[in-house]
Amino acid sequence: MKNITVSVDDESYRRARMKAAEDGVSVSAVVRKFLVDFAAGGSEFERAKSAERQLRDSIVDFDAANRLPRDQLHARR
């Protein structure tokens, strides 16, 4: 396991410590989880592909026959 040093302003560190304490974890644990999630995120293409897959899986009631008539589709305002 590697150790890293991160510099943040005093106020951000104080607020991070308070929030971490509320959640019952350390600031180090919060940063570790962020870095692990960040590193596991993959490329932009992989994230987009995953988002597309989730969106397609969420569409359960779609029928191409249920569409607007042409005159309504191209209605001008």
Q: 39-69: per-residue pLDDT in tens?
A: 887 788 888 898 999 999 998 887 877 787 8
- In angstroms, how far apart are the furthest CA atoms of the chain? 64
The total domain count for the chain is 1
Domain enclosing residue 38, as ranges:
10-59
68 occurs within a structural domain: no
Whether residue 47 is contained in a domain is answered as yes
Look at residue 19 and tell me if it is in a domain.
yes
Q: Which residue has the higher pLDDT, 68 or 8?
A: 8
Domain assignment present for residue 34? The answer is: yes
Whether residue 31 is contained in a domain is answered as yes
Q: Is the whole-model pTM more than 0.75?
A: no
Whether residue 23 lies inside any domain: the answer is yes
Residue 29 forms part of a structural domain: yes
d(CA 48, CA 72) in angstroms, rounded, equals 32
Judge contact between 16 and 6, C-beta under 8 A: no
Is residue 2 assigned to a domain?
no
CA angle 39, 44, 49 (to 5 degrees): 110
Alpha-carbon span 15 to 13, nearest angstrom? 5
Query: What pLDDT is attached to residue 54?
Result: 94
Percent of the chain scoring above 90 in pLDDT:
49
